[in-house]
Amino acid sequence: MAAVVISAALPRPESLRHRKRAEGERHDQLVLRAVAAAGDAGLKSPEIAARTALPDRTARAVVARLKLRGLVVQDGQRGAVRSTTAGRTEVGARTPGVALTSALEVAIGHFPAEAQRAFVRLLLSGIVARHHLATEYPDGWGGFIVVGPTKTGKTAMARFACRLFGIDRQSAVRVLRDETPGSIFTRRQQAKGGEWVADPSRLLRIPVLCLDEYDKAPEEVRRQAARLLQGETKVEVEGVSFTVSPVPMVALNAGPGELPRWLDDPYVRRSPVLDTGALGGLLRDIDEDMHRLFELGVIPRLDLGRLRPPGKLQEADRKMLRNALRSALTEEGWRLADVEAISRLALGRVPLMGGGASAEQACLATALDYLIATSTLPGHVRLSAVAELRGRLGGDVAMAANVEAHVAQQTALVRHDQDQRAAKLAADAAFVADRAELAAKLTELVERLGRRRDPEASGVKAALRKLARDAHGCRSREALDAVDAAALPSGERAKALLDRWEAADQAKRDAAAARRREAARRSEQSRLDREANRRRAREERETRARDRQEWAAFRRDLHRLTPYSFPTEALDKLAARGWLQRVDLPSGWIDRLAGGGVEYRVALDEVPRWPAGRVVGQGDVAAFWAAACDHADARVRLYGGRSAKRPLWRQSRQFDVDAELRKLK
């Protein structure tokens, strides 16, 4: 398509101001043509002055103006001046690759979603149509509505239109919550005579006006802004008539289902509606896309006055547009479609598509863009019918929608939504499980704390009970994380109390176990002592029995000593028991005794009246024997035996030593 050529011929000046303006525009065109013709090499200021026959000072001033407009760039203060793509487009340079349509399509292509591109094309068409046909159609004009979250490119589309047509962005893009009713539409002022007059806002003179954050504006401001959506180009307020030039674009952070709350149906019906929230992951990196568009890319500059649309559609073209919309829109979508307002967008599309485009192609391209933008609203468009319309439009048509890309994006969005729903279901299930787990942990801590009478424990349990209730009532992960974080100190205090109690209980258990071990040890020792006592008692009994038997046997032996034939037998018996000590006397002096040289001494103190060491002779045998018998009987009785009557000491004959000696001689 051929680029739009801005002629150097200017209207005849009617005043000095007009002549100055016309002369400045002519100088701009001369310098821009010379720089564009120089190509990538560019021209320095003296070369520009030589080629344009302008004074050097004037040439530098013109270059400064063109730099501000973004039509040329310069290397440093005195370097070469080169034309940008926008500059070459404005002067109509026939350089390959910089034709108007291709440059415009490349710029629009920076928007990531095809639905956004379609909406931008509709917006540009509406600006062109209303700028030229406002007098022919004084009412019935539609606006443009964009809904969706922040940072989804809503105002970026209005900024793009401003850059494309050279409109002051600060004037055209307004944050509605910061405006007053009079700053958007008109102010009512009271004249000196008491009559009220209207003072139209200066914003009513620009080609496009973006009303950002419409849903956050005060009600009176919204009421005044809504008058821009009534579709009138001629308005009379307080007897003052004025023109409403801008194409209104309303941006809201609400969803499409909330539109009836903010905008009446007639406004929505006359306006293409785009929901950027439905584009989801396609706009994930839109900040980088817009940086490449506005900072690194090339946005061509179009002369809005030169883009002249046809004044009216042929009836066949209008019917074809209506049928195309009717075939692809559902009943809900058709209820909100205004064919008259959309047909005016088709008129504005004709010059944007190039000189070879027909009104029929413009109608089909407009219908496709409208359907693609509207398809972001659920249940409004049948995409299969949209693909059929693209086939009717043909393959090689400028500024036409890429339906295949849109279908692919929609498929990706559906798949992404399914993945998101699956992920959300999984996240919800995990959230419910985590919520139940946290509440159970807190409740378990309360139960573990039990009913101990501890003031600190009572306070901790009250806090944990409240946190458990808060955890049960959480409806989001953020709230649950907040409860979890809030429960950490109480949980630590509860665990510290439990550890302290456990340590005390363990000490008690250890003490009880020690006591049990000591009791068991004592019991075992007692058992061992009893057994030892029983053993000792048994041994004592056995010893006593043996001793009794021995003493009884000794007593019998003593009793059997009578009658004696010779007392020495008794003495030997007593010596054998250890009571007497037999002492051998020196031989020689007592050999005459029948007993030999022997004497007996008492060895023990047990026998009464007979201390140890006393000599017991034959004459003392009876007395010692009687004492020994009594002592033996006492011992038998001591060891449990019965007393025995001591027999009388008798001898068969009196012991006569002389007689015995004589026998020996």
Please check whether residues 85 and 109 belong to one and the same domain.
no
Q: What is the pLDDT of residue 513?
A: 94
Question: Could you list the mean pLDDT of each consecutive 10-residue stretch along the chain, which spans 665 residues?
Answer: 36 64 84 78 85 88 87 85 73 42 82 92 93 89 92 92 89 90 81 73 90 91 89 83 90 88 89 90 88 82 83 88 91 91 91 78 90 89 81 73 78 77 89 92 88 85 90 90 90 89 91 93 90 86 86 83 62 80 64 56 82 82 83 88 82 49 52
Please check whether residues 179 and 201 belong to one and the same domain.
yes
The DSSP secondary-structure symbol of 381 reads B
Q: What is the pLDDT of residue 118?
A: 92
Rounded Cα–Cα distance for residues 642 and 634 (Å): 9
- What is the model's pTM? 0.58
Count of domains observed in the chain: 4
Please check whether residues 440 and 375 belong to one and the same domain.
no
Pairing of strands 247-252, 208-212: parallel
Domain limit, last residue, from 358, 386, 401: 401
Q: What is the pLDDT of residue 519?
A: 93
Q: Residue 43's closest CA among 66, 20, 19?
A: 66
Please check whether residues 277 and 375 belong to one and the same domain.
yes
User: Tokens 């009794």 map to which residue?
Assistant: 548
**574 located within any domain:** yes
Q: What is the pLDDT of residue 158?
A: 94
**How is residue 222 written in tokens?**
């919204």
**134 located within any domain:** yes
Please check whether residues 228 and 339 belong to one and the same domain.
yes
**608 located within any domain:** yes
Q: What is the pLDDT of residue 70?
A: 81
Q: What is the pLDDT of residue 599?
A: 80
**539 located within any domain:** no
User: Tokens 């692809």 map to which residue?
Assistant: 328
Pairing of strands 72-74, 81-83: antiparallel
Q: Residue 479's closest CA among 431, 429, 427, 442?
A: 431
Helix, coil or strand: residue 253: coil
User: Tokens 């037999």 map to which residue?
Assistant: 582
**550 located within any domain:** no
Domain that includes residue 604, residue range: 560-664
Please check whether residues 384 and 463 belong to one and the same domain.
no
| DSSP secondary structure, 131-148, as one string | HHHTTT--S----EEEE-
Please check whether residues 441 and 295 belong to one and the same domain.
no
**CATH assignment of the domain containing 31:** 1.10.10.10
**CATH assignment of the domain containing 330:** 3.40.50.300
